[in-house]
Amino acid sequence: MTDDQNPRLVALRGATTVDADTEGGIRQRTEELLTQLFERNDLAIDDIVSILFTATPDLRSDFPAGAARTLGLSNTPLLCAQEIPVEGAMARCIRVLIHCYGPAGATRHHVYLHEARQLRLDVPS
């Protein structure tokens, strides 16, 4: 087995925005973000160690982790926290940090959707 085949603990980042602070909007955009991260990185649920979500203070209608549970992550440790309220920061933004196992040396694909693309213009959409 080469180094590329040995699993390694890695972290993936991503973010999205919602149009309005609604339960449905938060769930739909969080599901979309996670689905894109899973697909682009060929992740299986068993590869995931834990997920940390943050949401800006203007998002209070639901927990992003609730959307993750609907995708089958009911046994995965999930944590939601509030993003630091920096003056002029992007509004209605959900960020995610996924700790997972993947092949050593594999390319990692971070995902930034909707208005959150502005956070990382160096990351292809």
Q: Which residues are catalytic?
A: 13, 69, 80, 83, 95, 112, 120
Kindly give, in sequence order, each residue whose CB lies less than 8 Å from that of residue 36, ignoring residues fewer than 6 positions away: 14, 111, 113
Cα–Cα distance measured from residue 105 to residue 21, given in angstroms and rounded to the nearest whole number = 39
Query: Residue 30, class by beta-carbon neighbours within 10 Å (0-12 exposed, 13-18 middle, 19+ buried)?
Result: buried
The amino acid that residue 27 corresponds to is: R
Could you give the 3-state DSSP secondary structure of residue 63?
coil
